Amino acid sequence: MKKQQVIVTENLKENLKQAIDNCPHDRMFVLVDECTQNLCWPLISSFDYMKEATLICIGSTDTNKTLESLAHVWTVLSSCGGSRKSLMINLGGGMVTDLGGFAASTFKRGIQYINIPTTLLSMVDAAVGGKTGINFNGLKNEVGVFNPASCVLLDTNFLRTLDDANIRSGYAEMLKHGLISTTEHWADLLNFDLNNVDYAKLQELVAHSVGIKEHIVEEDPYEHGIRKALNVGHTVGHAFESLALAENRAVLHGYAVAWGCVCELYLSSVKTGFPSQKLRQTVQFIRENYGVFDFDCKKYETLYELMTHDKKNSSGIINFTLLGEVGDIRINQTASKDEIFEMLDFYREG
């Protein structure tokens, strides 16, 4: 997989022009959702070199990360003269960059695309690393491909357009990056005040977080080994997310990951010796900033079944990425059904 260029930009107009110039094209398309069309598209539509771009809009939120939305994007690309030499720019959060990247990767067997993530979650997670896809058959990211954007432009000024919940959602992925890196970075993240956001400090933390992910992706682009470190909190988190979707009470991805981290750090403390004090500190931070996901023991079987569909699994065995310590990554860890149910007990009772 080709290396992805990631730029933390102080001058979006200039850096976007450079990125576009590096992708020779006949036609240019910009994918937005209903939210970023209103809040973010006006910030770049005035650039002189964007005048000829064709805008494609899809519905907002993860409920629109569907085959139907994907087909709509393909239809516009096809009917508006898109070719193998066309260029797609994805302007939005993780849903837009995931779906737009997949659309670009499959239209005419693949066209070039640029990601401009506009949410904290997409800056530190979805837009970086080359994963694309859609939800399918009630499962998160069930269909997709590995194919990195030609360039990812991170402009933290977009973060000022976000509400509190979306800041917290993205921050959960940053906390995960802290857990898989160093005690110092983990502690720095726990000390950040999400109730009074310091945007200058947040920009520093974003750059650090992206660097952690870039290093791991470069080492293992197709997730055969150490890239599974990025899945801490996700085996359970995706199950929570899928259950919430099925019950028509959709939750933000980062909240599900944070709740998944509570579960998987508990499992880490039981199975791989993660320190109890760091478990308590992390769980306290998550409960204070993300609340709890409400479910009862009658949902255990459903959650277990959802976990069996996780893409890290093999031969029907649920695989977790656990930690022996902050930065001590243990991939391909398994747990019995009883242990998983005990983990869910801890989550509900803790």
Task: Select from 1.20.1090.10, 3.40.50.300, 3.40.190.170, 1.20.1250.20 the CATH code of 172-349.
Answer: 1.20.1090.10
H helices of 46-157, in order, are: 67-79, 94-106, 120-121
CATH classification of 5-161 is 3.40.50.1970, yes or no? yes
Alpha carbons 33 and 181: distance in angstroms, whole number: 33
CB proximity list for 84: less than 8 A, separation 6 or greater: 108, 109, 110, 111
Q: What is the structure's pLDDT at 140?
A: 85
pLDDT band at 313 (very low <50, low <70, confident <90, very high): confident
Summarize pLDDT for 41-56 with one digit per residue, the tens: 999 999 999 999 999 9
- pTM for the complete prediction? 0.89
Summarize pLDDT for 113-160 with one digit per residue, the tens: 999 999 999 999 888 889 999 999 988 899 999 999 999 999 999 999
CA nearest to 149, candidates 91, 108, 89: 89
Q: Do 172-349 and 5-161 fall under one CATH topology?
A: no
- Domains of the chain by residue range: 5-161, 172-349
